[in-house]
Amino acid sequence: MRPFTYTGLPARVIFGSGTVSVLAEEIKALKASRALVLTTPPQAPQGEQITEELGSLAAGMFTRAAMHTPVAVTEEAMKAYDKAGADCVVSIGGGSTIGLGKAIALRNGTPQIVLPTTYAGSEMTSIIGQTEQGEKTTQKTLKVLPETVIYDVNFTLSLPVGMSVTSGMNAIAHAVEALYAEQANPVLSLMAEEGISALFGALPRIVASPQDPDARSDALYGAWLCAVCLGSGGVALHHKLCHVLGGSFDLPHAETHTIVLPHALAYNAPAIPDAMTALKRATGSDDPAGKFFDIARQGGAPAGLRDLGMPESEIDRAVEIAFRNPYFNPRPLEEAGIRRIIRAAWAGDRPS
């Protein structure tokens, strides 16, 4: 076996149904007593319910979390945090809300408790991406790793089918790249294959029966494993392209990952034979990239970046930005090849 390094990130995870009931206890366990509840505008009702249940432990709410963690929104949230006299944050939602909680923690070190409502996975990572003046930058620091994550399957039962599929594919992308990232190791490979298998099996069941608690539980379990892979492993071409496309053209996060994943995987496939073997086992298919494309389309996900509003005229600019500060990748990056990926992803073609 080749030498490897595995770094497990410290985090407390509580998984099950109805686990939100321990939220007040977890706030107190962090020696906190004034939680600022964070949500996006559509999830404000959930935030209001949690705020009411917390009573005096709630310092207030901030409901303007936004995609790609705009710095301007974070500055607003910081003012709300200080005005409320908060000493911790409770983030209810997906990547947008969790990203805002991380951005606050980066600036003032506040403890974070996260209640994920999607399969995005940011809650298990020390990665933060922030957008300012049209460009998204990322960094890794333990300052932004949430202290406690409460996975409550009940919080995912109302997640719309389309969003469930794109959020699940986003999670799968984390595990796919962990199989061949620069920090790949046997421990993460086990988690990655299990996570992909769980989500890949759960998503069609959710499409068929959105309220199926067993399917939702399997999906959330798989998403957790995929998130651990993202947090403790690394990323490559797929995530670089998604950061470029999302940050530069304001494209929705999960949908962008869903569209790009099959194309980035097809590009790297010749250089990652071991990873492809694991992916074939996890998907039960000799064509994992094609199967990822198919399962997304069957779940109603958009096929191409043009469906998200990206102009065809911006393809060349996306290629140019992708070569700035490139991430590690197992296959050398070739400008013509990257242009083909982005064009195929823009058009919604099935990967070959």
Q: Which domains does the chain have, with CATH numbers?
A: 12-156 (3.40.50.1970), 161-347 (1.20.1090.10)
Predicted pLDDT at 27: 98
pLDDT value at 133 more than 80: yes
Q: Are 163 and 197 in contact (CB under 8 A)?
A: no
pLDDT digits (tens, 9 = 90+) for 197-213: 999 999 999 999 999 99
Strand partners, 13: 149
Predicted pLDDT at 210: 97
Helices (H), the chain: 23-29, 44-54, 71-84, 95-108, 161-178, 186-208, 213-232, 237-249, 253-268, 273-283, 288-298, 315-322, 335-347
Predicted pLDDT at 245: 95
What is the average pLDDT across 184-192? 95
The pair of three-digit structure tokens given for residue 350, joined into one six-digit string: 């099935």
Q: Are 150 and 113 in contact (CB under 8 A)?
A: yes
Strand partners, 327: none
Instruction: Find the helix or strand (DSSP H, E) in which 226 lies.
Output: helix 213-232
pLDDT digits (tens, 9 = 90+) for 218-232: 999 999 999 999 988
